[in-house]
Amino acid sequence: MMTGAIWLTALLSLGSAEMKWVTQDSHTTVRLRGVSAVDGRVAWASGDKGTFVRTTDGGQTWKAGTVPGAETLDFRDVDAFSDTTAYLLSIGEGDKSRIYKTVDGGEHWTLQFTNPTPGAFFDGMAFWDEKHG
């Protein structure tokens, strides 16, 4: 199993429906668990140890970061809406299941939700738009 690598699908030509997997360096060694593509140039991925990665140039380069205070959490899911706005879901029982939001490309993160139920485990999330999910 490759850790820290993101597999993306690239369209080889406009006139063909043929797809090919391309390995890209994510600039992190942690296991990545979730990915959300906004369009052909912007994508976010979530991972272990409070880590996220983001590309704004179609995967040519990736910027890795860590959510401050969440270094012990594992982010299993990500929903992205632009190159600046994304949500991350951490997993675990009780208050380890959290949702964080950024509106500045991952420079700052705001805690949006903490699971109040001991023993409950959140495994995924879905947003319909930036404010409803």
Asked whether residue 76 is assigned to any structural domain, the reply reads: yes
Strands, E assignment, the chain: 5-11, 19-25, 32-37, 43-47, 51-55, 63-66, 74-80, 86-91, 98-102, 110-114
pLDDT tens for residues 85-110?
Answer: 999 999 999 999 999 999 999 999 99
Give the residue numbers spanning the domain of 37: 27-114
Confidence of residue 9 (pLDDT cuts 50, 70, 90): very low
Q: Looking at residue 47, which CATH number applies to its domain?
A: 2.40.10.500
Q: What is the mean pLDDT of the chain?
A: 87
Asked whether residue 21 is assigned to any structural domain, the reply reads: no
Q: What value does the mean pLDDT take over residues 47-64?
A: 96
Asked whether residue 71 is assigned to any structural domain, the reply reads: yes
Asked whether residue 13 is assigned to any structural domain, the reply reads: no
Q: What value does the mean pLDDT take over residues 39-63?
A: 96
Asked whether residue 130 is assigned to any structural domain, the reply reads: no
CA distances from 121 to 1, 25, 91, 106, 132 (A): 25, 31, 7, 25, 21
Asked whether residue 107 is assigned to any structural domain, the reply reads: yes
**Tally of domains within the chain:** 1
Give the whole-angstrom CA distance, residue 119 versus residue 8: 35
DSSP string, 106-119: TSS-EEEEE--STT
DSSP 8-state symbol, 94? G
Query: Which one, of 77, 83, 84, lies nearest residue 125 by Cα?
Result: 77
Asked whether residue 128 is assigned to any structural domain, the reply reads: no
The token pair at 53 is 């990665």
Asked whether residue 18 is assigned to any structural domain, the reply reads: no
